[in-house]
Amino acid sequence: MLTIGKSSRRSFLKGTAAVAGAAITGARAGFAEGPSIAPPLRQFTYGDVQLLDGPAREQFDRNHAFYRGLNEDSLLKPFRERSGVPAPGEEMGGWYSWAPLRDLDKPGDNGFAPCHSFGQYVSGLARDYAATGDSATQEKVHRLVRGLGEAISAHFWDDNRFPAYTYDKICIGMIDAHEFAADAQAFAVLDAALNSVQKYLPPGGLSRAEQAERPHRDDSFTWDEPYTVPENAFLAWQRGAGSRYKDLGVRCLADNWYWNPLAAGENVLPGKHAYSHVNAMSSAMQAYFALGNEKYLRAARNGFDFVRAQSFATGGWGPDESFRVPGSGDLAASLTNTHSSFETPCGSYAHFKITRYLLRTTKDSRYGDSMERVFYNCILGAKPIKEDGHGFYYSDYNNDASKFYHPYKWHCCTGTFSQITADYGISSYFQDNEGVYVNLFVPSRVTWNRGRHRIVLTQQTEYPHRPTTQIEVSPEKAESFSVFVRIPEWAGAKTSIAVNGKKGEGTPYPGQFARIHRTWKKGDRIEVEFDMPTRLEAVDPQHPKLMAAVHGPLALFAVGDVPATVRAAELTSVAQVTPGSTDWQARTDSGVIAMRPFTAIHDEHYRLYLNVES
Ligand SMILES: [Zn+2]
C-alpha cells in the first residue's frame, strides 16, 4: 500500500510541544549516567552511508587524500617544540607554527594559533576512515594520537591566545579517534591534554567582552572561544571519557550572556563574531541532550532563527565575520564595503551541525532546506585546499566579487574543511523506528538493518541541476516501513512522487517530509520530481530592489556584463542553456545576462544581487 502524506511536524514550532517526540532516557538532570534526551531522529554511522560519483564524492575524496597526505612531523612540531622533545620536520607556517607575538601582521607566517587545527585534522581523518575503511587513514590517526600523547605539555599553552579553542579541537579529535577509528589510547591522551590546559582555561564560557575585562596582552588575547567548549565536552562524556568532561561542559555554558537571553527570544547576536556563536549553538543542543533542560533547545532554535533572518540568498551569513543589527541595512552595505561575506568552511560546518541537531530533534524538514542551501551555494563551491596550506576562507558577495584564497596558510577553515566533507554522508539520511528520512539529494547509498533484514537504499541524481531524484529501495526480504522524502518549502504545486512509475495520491506538502509507506520489495523505485520555481530574494528589508535570483535551492550569480537595472520578470525568466547545464541565461531589454551557480564559478568575476525594477 502506498500513502504519501504529511508527517506530523509543525507542532514543535511553538511552546513545549517541541520535545513531544524526544525520548527521556536518563535519570534526573545532573545525575544521569547517560544523556537525558535522545532526539527522535537518529544519525546513521559514517560507514552506513556511501557517497557515489558526483560533486560531493569528488570533494570528499579530494579532502580525504589531501589530509591523509599531511606530514605528521610538521603537524606535531609546535607541540614537540614546547615539550623539549626532538621536533624534526618542516614548519607548516601560517597560523599553525609558533612565531614571536610581534609578528602577528606578517603575512603568511604569523604564528597566530599554533596547532589550533590539529584536532580537527585528526577528527576529519577518523571520520574519513569510518566512511571508507581505509586502513592507512586509521593508522595515521593512531600515529597522530600517540604523537600528541608524547608531546603535549603545559608549556604548550604559554603565550597561547586560544587555549579553549585549541583544546576544544583536540577534544573532538581524540573522541573521534576513539569512536570512529577504534583508538584505544585516545581517551588517555585527551585526559593528558585536559590536564595540561586546565589552569590556562578561562573560568567559564566567557564572552569576548568578559575576556576583555580581564588582564590580557592585546586584543587578540580576548578572542578565545570557551563558549563553544560544551558541545565536545558533553560528547566526550557521552562516549565514555568520564564525568570530568560533563563538568567541563556545564562550567563553560554561556548562560548569563547568551543562552538565557536567546531562550527568552532576545536577539543578542548583533556585533558578535559570527562563526563561533553559531558553532556555540551546537553546545546548547548538547546541553539540552545531556541535561534535559529545554531552555537550551529554545536558545538554539531562537538563535538559529535570528541567523536565518540575516542570511544572504546563498544561506551564508555574517559579513566581516559579524552579525548585524536587524533593520540596519548592513547586509546591503556589505555588498560594496567588503569581500569577506561568509566564512565558508567554518560557517558551513557550524551550519550543518546545528541544522542536523535541530532537524533530528524537531523533525522539521526546513532545517534540511537550510542545510542544502549552504551545501550547494557555499561549501560545495569552495576552492580546493592547496598543497602549501592556502585554503578557501571567505565567500565573496560583493557587487564585484571573485573567488580567492586567504593570504595566511593553515587557517581555521582548513580545519573545518576536513570535517565537513566527511559529514556529507551522515547529513544525507536519518532514521527512526518508522523508517528512513531522505534529507539531501546526493548520489549515495545507505545500508542498514531493519529487524533481521538488510536494507539498501540507493539514490541517483543530478539535483539541483536537474529537478529530479531516483531512489531505489532494496530490502533483503519484503519489508514494511516508511521512506520520508524532504519536500523543500520552495517546492511548487507540480512536485510529484511516483513509486515504480505510478504517481501517488495526494500532494507532497512543501516544507515537510512526504511519507511513503508500503511493503518494499527488492528494486522498488521512488522518483521525485521537484517543481523548482525561480524567485527573487531581497538582500534585506531596507533594500527591497536589490535582489538575487534563486532557482530551487540554487542561488544564481551573474557573470560578465550586468545592466544597471533589470526587470523582475526578465530575471525570473532565467533558464538553463540546456537541461542539466550550470550555464544559465536571463534575456533582458539590454542584452543577455549569463548566470552560474557558485559551484560552476572559477576565476571569473561575478555578482549575486542585481538592481531590480518591478
Ligand atoms: Zn574559518
Tell me, in angstroms, the distance from the centre of ligand 1 to residue 36's CA: 32
Mean pLDDT score, 3-9:
36
- CA dist 595 and 577 (Å) reads 10
Q: In terms of DSSP bridges, do strands 37-38 and 23-24 run parallel, antiparallel, or are they unpaired?
A: antiparallel
pLDDT tens track for 508-563: 999 999 999 999 999 999 999 999 999 999 999 999 999 999 999 999 999 999 99
pLDDT at 182 over 80: yes
Q: Could you give the dihedral angle defined by the CA atoms of residues 97, 103, 107 and 111, in that order, rounded to the nearest 10 degrees? A: 20
| Cis amide prior to 230 (ω within 30 degrees) | no
Tell me how far apart the alpha carbons of residues 346 and 550 are, in angstroms, rounded to a whole number. 23
- pLDDT tens profile 416-428: 999 999 999 999 9
Q: Is the pLDDT of residue 104 over 70?
A: no
Residue 31 is predicted with a pLDDT of 42
**Antiparallel, parallel or unpaired: β 444-450 and 435-438:** unpaired
Residues 286, 7, 312, 262, Cα dihedral to 10° = -40
Give the model's pLDDT for residue 445: 98
Gap between the Cα atoms of 100 and 460, Å rounded = 52
Confidence at 100, pLDDT banded by 50, 70, 90? confident
Distance from C-alpha of 96 to C-alpha of 4, rounded to nearest angstrom? 52
Ligand 1 mean position to 445 CA, how many Å? 30
For residue 191, which amino acid is it?
D
State the chain's mean pLDDT as an integer.
Answer: 93
The C-alpha angle 610, 613, 614, rounded to 5 degrees, equals: 130
Identify the band that residue 10 occupies on the pLDDT scale cut at 50, 70 and 90.
Answer: very low
The mean-pLDDT minimum among 1-10, 452-461, 575-584 falls in 1-10
Q: For 390-412, what is the mean pLDDT?
A: 96
At 109, is the pLDDT very low, low, confident or very high (cuts 50, 70, 90)?
low
Cα 558 to ligand 1 centroid, rounded to whole Å: 26
User: What's the 211 CA to ligand 1 centre distance in angstroms?
Assistant: 21
- Give distance in angstroms: CA of 412 to centre of ligand 1: 4
Residue (of 204, 103, 242, 120) closest to 159 by Cα position: 103
Give me the DSSP letters along 571-606: HHT-EESSTT-S-EEEEETTEEEEEE-GGG--SS-E
Query: What SS3 class is residue 515?
Result: strand
In this predicted model, what pLDDT tens digit does every residue of 244-294 receive, in sequence order? 999 999 999 999 999 999 999 999 999 999 999 999 999 999 999 999 999
Q: Which of 178, 171, 116 is nearest to 142 (CA)?
A: 178
Closest of 524, 486, 527, 526 to residue 508, by C-alpha = 486
Confidence of residue 611 (pLDDT cuts 50, 70, 90): very high
Please determine, for residue 27, whether its predicted confidence score (pLDDT) is greater than 90.
Answer: no
At 346, list the grid cell: 567554518
Q: Which helix (H) or strand (E) holds 275?
A: helix 274-291
Calculate mean pLDDT across residues 372-398. 98
Q: How far is the CA of 134 from the centre of ligand 1 (A)?
A: 27
pLDDT at residue 94 in the model: 92
Q: Collect all residues with Cβ–Cβ distance below 8 Å to 396 and sequence separation of at least 6.
A: 339, 340, 341, 402, 403, 404
Taking only the tens place, the pLDDT of each residue in 466-503 is: 999 999 999 999 999 999 999 999 999 999 999 999 99
Residues with CB under 5 A from ligand 1 (ion): 343, 346, 412-413
pLDDT digits (tens, 9 = 90+) for 324-361: 999 999 999 999 999 999 999 999 999 999 999 999 99
d(CA 514, CA 7): 6
- Confirm if 436 and 429 have CB atoms less than 8 A apart: yes
Confidence of residue 451 (pLDDT cuts 50, 70, 90): confident
pLDDT score at 614:
83
How far does the centroid of ligand 1 lie from the alpha carbon of residue 539, in Å? Answer: 23
CA distance 444 to 423: 13
394 CA from centroid of ligand 1 (Å): 8
Cell of 421: 566533507
pLDDT per residue over 112-159, tens digit each?
899 999 999 999 999 999 999 999 999 999 999 999 999 999 999 999
CA distance 276 to 292: 23
Q: For residue 609, which of 561, 539, 559, 551 has the smallest C-alpha distance?
A: 539
**Helical segments of 343-394, H only:** 344-362, 366-377
Q: Which residue has the higher pLDDT, 110 or 208?
A: 208
**Distance (Å) from CA 446 to ligand 1 centroid:** 30
C-alpha of residue 278 to centroid of ligand 1, in Å: 12
Task: Encode burial over 507-534: b for 16+ CB neighbours within 10 A, e otherwise.
Answer: bbbbbbbbbbbbebeeebebbbbbbbeb
Residue 600 scores a pLDDT above 80: yes
Nearest to 149 by CA among 125, 126, 111, 183: 183
Confidence check: pLDDT of 19 > 70: no
- Rounded distance from Cα 598 to ligand 1 centre (Å): 19
Confidence of residue 390 (pLDDT cuts 50, 70, 90): very high
Entry field: residues in the chain = 614
CA pair distance 200, 163, nearest whole angstrom: 6
Crossing angle for the helix pair 118-132 and 163-180, nearest 10 degrees?
A: 20
CA 62 to centroid of ligand 1, rounded, Å: 19
538 backbone dihedrals φ, ψ, rounded to 5°: -75, 150
Q: Are 314 and 397 in contact (CB under 8 A)?
A: yes
Residue whose cell numbers read 595540561 = 196
Ligand 1 centroid to 414 CA: how many Å?
A: 7
